[in-house]
Amino acid sequence: MSDKRKLAASNTGEPAAKYARKGRKDDDDTLVKRTNALSIETFRDLYVAEDIAQRVGVRKVMLTCFLSNAKARRFYERRGYTRDLCSPDDRKTRKRVVEVDYVIMSKAIENAPL
Protein backbone atom coordinates (compact mmCIF):
# COMPACT_ATOMS: atom_id res chain seq x y z
CA MET A 1 0.00 0.00 0.00
CA SER A 2 1.49 3.36 -0.94
CA ASP A 3 1.87 6.10 1.64
CA LYS A 4 -0.50 8.32 -0.36
CA ARG A 5 -3.58 6.23 0.40
CA LYS A 6 -5.46 5.70 3.63
CA LEU A 7 -8.93 4.62 4.62
CA ALA A 8 -9.77 4.51 8.29
CA ALA A 9 -12.15 1.94 9.69
CA SER A 10 -12.63 0.98 13.32
CA ASN A 11 -14.70 -1.51 15.27
CA THR A 12 -13.79 -0.02 18.66
CA GLY A 13 -16.71 2.43 18.74
CA GLU A 14 -14.42 5.44 18.42
CA PRO A 15 -14.47 7.68 15.32
CA ALA A 16 -12.21 5.94 12.85
CA ALA A 17 -10.98 9.24 11.43
CA LYS A 18 -9.03 9.91 14.62
CA TYR A 19 -6.62 7.11 13.75
CA ALA A 20 -5.72 8.73 10.44
CA ARG A 21 -5.44 12.21 11.98
CA LYS A 22 -3.16 11.02 14.75
CA GLY A 23 -1.11 8.90 12.39
CA ARG A 24 -1.80 5.88 14.56
CA LYS A 25 -0.41 2.62 13.25
CA ASP A 26 -2.70 -0.16 12.17
CA ASP A 27 -3.85 -2.58 14.85
CA ASP A 28 -6.44 -5.34 15.00
CA ASP A 29 -9.33 -2.87 15.00
CA THR A 30 -8.14 -0.41 12.36
CA LEU A 31 -7.68 -0.40 8.61
CA VAL A 32 -5.98 2.70 7.21
CA LYS A 33 -6.12 3.81 3.59
CA ARG A 34 -6.54 7.20 1.87
CA THR A 35 -7.25 7.82 -1.80
CA ASN A 36 -6.34 11.09 -3.50
CA ALA A 37 -7.70 10.53 -7.00
CA LEU A 38 -10.52 8.58 -8.57
CA SER A 39 -9.53 5.67 -10.76
CA ILE A 40 -10.32 2.03 -11.36
CA GLU A 41 -7.81 1.35 -8.60
CA THR A 42 -9.77 3.64 -6.24
CA PHE A 43 -12.99 1.74 -6.91
CA ARG A 44 -11.26 -1.62 -6.46
CA ASP A 45 -9.54 -0.47 -3.26
CA LEU A 46 -12.82 0.85 -1.86
CA TYR A 47 -14.57 -2.43 -2.64
CA VAL A 48 -11.74 -4.42 -1.05
CA ALA A 49 -11.73 -2.19 2.06
CA GLU A 50 -15.51 -2.59 2.48
CA ASP A 51 -15.24 -6.36 2.00
CA ILE A 52 -12.45 -6.66 4.57
CA ALA A 53 -14.34 -4.42 6.99
CA GLN A 54 -17.39 -6.67 6.73
CA ARG A 55 -15.34 -9.84 7.23
CA VAL A 56 -13.54 -8.58 10.35
CA GLY A 57 -16.60 -6.98 11.95
CA VAL A 58 -15.99 -3.29 11.29
CA ARG A 59 -19.37 -1.57 11.26
CA LYS A 60 -18.42 1.66 9.49
CA VAL A 61 -15.94 2.67 6.78
CA MET A 62 -14.85 6.32 6.68
CA LEU A 63 -12.98 8.42 4.15
CA THR A 64 -12.01 12.03 3.58
CA CYS A 65 -12.87 13.94 0.41
CA PHE A 66 -11.96 17.50 -0.60
CA LEU A 67 -15.05 19.69 -1.01
CA SER A 68 -13.60 21.00 -4.26
CA ASN A 69 -13.65 17.49 -5.73
CA ALA A 70 -17.34 17.28 -6.69
CA LYS A 71 -16.72 14.29 -8.95
CA ALA A 72 -15.26 12.25 -6.10
CA ARG A 73 -18.07 13.25 -3.73
CA ARG A 74 -20.69 12.07 -6.24
CA PHE A 75 -18.71 8.84 -6.72
CA TYR A 76 -18.76 8.13 -2.98
CA GLU A 77 -22.38 9.23 -2.53
CA ARG A 78 -23.51 6.83 -5.27
CA ARG A 79 -21.81 4.08 -3.28
CA GLY A 80 -23.72 4.92 -0.11
CA TYR A 81 -21.31 7.27 1.67
CA THR A 82 -22.75 10.28 3.51
CA ARG A 83 -21.33 13.10 5.60
CA ASP A 84 -20.27 11.66 8.96
CA LEU A 85 -21.18 13.26 12.28
CA CYS A 86 -17.49 13.78 13.08
CA SER A 87 -16.92 15.81 9.88
CA PRO A 88 -15.84 19.31 10.92
CA ASP A 89 -17.89 22.43 10.25
CA ASP A 90 -16.62 25.89 9.44
CA ARG A 91 -15.71 27.71 12.63
CA LYS A 92 -15.86 31.36 13.53
CA THR A 93 -12.98 33.20 15.11
CA ARG A 94 -13.07 36.79 16.32
CA LYS A 95 -12.13 38.20 12.94
CA ARG A 96 -13.15 35.65 10.35
CA VAL A 97 -14.67 32.31 9.46
CA VAL A 98 -12.25 29.43 9.00
CA GLU A 99 -13.71 27.26 6.27
CA VAL A 100 -12.95 23.57 6.08
CA ASP A 101 -11.89 22.24 2.69
CA TYR A 102 -12.81 18.60 3.20
CA VAL A 103 -15.64 16.37 4.38
CA ILE A 104 -15.43 13.12 6.31
CA MET A 105 -17.82 10.60 4.77
CA SER A 106 -18.88 7.22 6.10
CA LYS A 107 -20.84 4.16 5.15
CA ALA A 108 -22.36 1.59 7.49
CA ILE A 109 -21.23 -1.95 6.78
CA GLU A 110 -24.20 -4.29 6.82
CA ASN A 111 -24.07 -7.84 8.12
CA ALA A 112 -20.80 -7.22 9.95
CA PRO A 113 -20.39 -9.94 12.59
CA LEU A 114 -20.75 -8.69 16.16
Residue-wise pLDDT for 35-87, tens only, equals: 444 555 666 788 888 888 888 888 888 999 999 999 999 999 999 999 999 99
Residue-wise pLDDT for 58-72, tens only, equals: 888 899 999 999 999
Which pLDDT belongs to residue 1?
38
Task: Please determine, for residue 8, whether its predicted confidence score (pLDDT) is greater than 60.
Answer: no
For the chain, what percentages of helix, strand and coil (3-state, to nearest 5) are there? 30, 20, 50
User: CATH number for the domain including 57?
Assistant: 3.40.630
Give the residue, 23 or 61, on which the prediction is more confident. Answer: 61
Residue 100's identity, in one-letter code, is V
Task: Please determine, for residue 4, whether its predicted confidence score (pLDDT) is greater than 50.
Answer: no
| Domains contained in the chain, number | 1
Which pLDDT belongs to residue 55?
86
Residue 2 inside a domain? The answer is no
Residue 50 inside a domain? The answer is yes
- State the CB neighbour count (10 A cutoff) for residue 111: 5
CA atoms within 13 A on the CB side of 51: 6
Residue 7 burial (C-beta neighbours within 10 Å; 0-12, 13-18, 19+): buried
Domain range for 18 is: 8-108
